[in-house]
């Protein structure tokens, strides 16, 4: 997703990961239903500063953060994601 605001949901994943594919479908569907913004970050792609998130998150992907708080990894729980989006006020 694009836009000037920070997305509420960040999905960290990698190419060729079937759990990441499942998580992407779930996050896309739930965020579309609730009108929440989201973005996906490939942990294997180096950041502009040269760091690679795979060093930190590689064994946990997929990982989902909502409003900057880790909400799940490996198998993303739909109820937990919905609850996090419902209870958070979002970002201005």
pTM of the model: 0.86
How distant, in Å, are the alpha carbons of 41, 67, 69, 88 from that of 91?
A: 19, 7, 13, 9
pLDDT of residue 2: 43
Mean pLDDT of the chain: 89
pLDDT of residue 1: 45
Residue appearing with tokens 């209870």: 87
pLDDT of residue 38: 97
């Amino acid at each position: 997703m694009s836009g000037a605001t920070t997305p509420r949901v960040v999905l960290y994943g990698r190419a060729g990961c079937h759990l990441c594919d499942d998580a992407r479908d779930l996050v896309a569907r739930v965020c579309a239903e609730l009108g929440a913004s989201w973005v996906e970050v490939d942990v294997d792609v180096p950041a502009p500063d040269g760091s690679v998130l795979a060093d930190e998150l590689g064994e946990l992907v997929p990982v989902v953060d909502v409003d900057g708080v880790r909400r799940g990894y490996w198998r993303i729980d739909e109820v937990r994601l919905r609850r996090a989006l419902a209870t958070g006020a979002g970002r201005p």
